[in-house]
Amino acid sequence: MEYATDAVTVATSAPEEGVIPREEGEPVVEEKEVDVEEEDSSDSVESLSTMRAADEAASRLEGGREAVVGEEQTEELLCMIVNQRRQLTRTVVGYDERMLKHCIIEGIHPERPMRIAAIVEELRRSLKGKFMEIHGRVATDKELLVCHTQKHLNYMAHLLKLSVEELDDLEDSHESVYFSPGTELAARVAVGTLIDVTTLLMKNRFHNGAAVIRPPGHHCESHRPRGFCYYNNVPVAAHHALQMGAKRVLIVDWDVHHGNGIQDMFYDDPRVLYISLHRYDEGTFYPSGTWGSMQRTGQGAGVGYNINIPWECDSVGDHEYLYAFERVIMPIARQFDPDMVFVSSGFDAAEGDPLGGCSVTPAGYAHMTHHLMSLASGRVLVALEGGYYIKALKKSMKAIVQTLAGDRLPRLKPLKGPLLASCVQVVEDVRRLMSEQWSCLPSIDVSTLLLDSTLAQLPPENSLEAATDAAVQAVVPAVDDMQLAEVPIHGLNV
């Protein structure tokens, strides 16, 4: 059996049945080098001395993993290590090379190992000293069963018994997934890594964090893999946060595809507020159907705690996303007052991504992250979902980690024209719809006011359809003129 103490796992005996064992001798915690300026104060000297002692303790712990180490002693060592590092770094990043083992057997697939390898290489190279990196672990059956059925776990476990040819043949019987000998291990390590970072944030060892994980999770349902996803990473970690004492959890999903799996797992749960910004295209964009509709607001006690912001076009960029943040997401999030914030951070809405067709820049992702850092005392965890353009992946996650670490925000590209009218209309429609559940939103939205004013200016013979078209065309200039005193509108006056 093995037990986890924060980010380090200590082997005690044979692995529990149904749990994939950790590879022997693999390092678990990787301490990134931190540049420390010499100071004259005795506190600084003591801190450095203690840190050296912590490093020596970590080396003994890692080198003597076979030895029996008491749980109390292990916890003490870990506290010493993490607390000293935490004085210099506020951000923790979870990553594990075992997630590279999931790869397509033949051909090329957009969800490939290079996605996370490139991100981590970029972070290590350009953000040295700004974060602490931890290795992940394998999620246990008990942890996965909070969101998934036993039948699903059994199905994933049986993959280990199949030949390469049998795994390749499975692809045709599933929706947008492939299987390889390393799929089960990689998927469990992705969940386990995210859980460990969640633990560190919930114990206040770090302010915030990121998890560079794959395969992604937000399409996976409780009973089946779907859409490149095998276990649903963020919901499992959200349940873990609730178990550790969080009363309310916010999940913001800015992957370009709707997170149908996350929505389904919390659809009637008022403890978890799920907000998704995604391309919808009248229900034709993956995962298709009506689940991504703005009308899907939850059921039972969860009504109002599921919010979809469904874009109806491509080319959606920074300013449209930030408009949604300032008109809908942040007012509701502040009223909800979460104890923990997760971001299902797909980067397939990034500029240049082959699947998304949108144009969010690294600066846009940084600004959205900065908004969320004002919630939950800054306890924000950004977990990788989709995103298939390597350059955008690297730069976007780098911008997010820089923001989490407290660096100055990058400047957004100037707004060269009006916001996309259909996006403004969607945001205002969602705002009006959600005002029934959230008192922070006024019941009358901007587009209604604009429509009324446009009707008043048109001759009687003009049709309502013509008036509506005219109002939509007038949305952005009119919003700019009104200044919307009750809520600041980012980017309209750049």
| In contact, 254 and 386? CB cutoff 8 Å | no
Q: Give the integer Cα–Cα distance in Å for 225 and 217.
A: 9
Helix (H/G/I), strand (E/B), else coil: 91: strand
Residue 240 DSSP SS3: helix
DSSP strand pairing (2-5 vs 8-11): antiparallel
Half-sphere exposure of 404 (CA within 13 A, CB side): 31
**325 DSSP assignment:** I
By CB atoms closer than 10 A (0-12, 13-18, 19+), residue 26 is middle
Cβ atoms of residues 184 and 102 within 8 Å: no
The strand pairing partners of 338, in sequence order, are none
Q: How far apart are CA 293 and CA 304, in angstroms?
A: 14
Residue 239 annotated in active site: no
Amino acid at residue number 157: A
Report the C-alpha gap between 308 and 350 in whole angstroms: 19
What backbone torsions phi and psi does residue 390 show, to the nearest 5 degrees? Answer: -55, -45
Q: Looking at 152, 207, 219, 257, which residue is catalytic?
A: 219
What tokens appear for 162 in the block? 């199949």
The answer to whether 323 touches 489, Cβ cutoff 8 Å, is: yes
Rounded to whole angstroms, how far apart are CA atoms 77 and 72?
9
Strand partners, 384: 345
Active site residues per annotation: 219
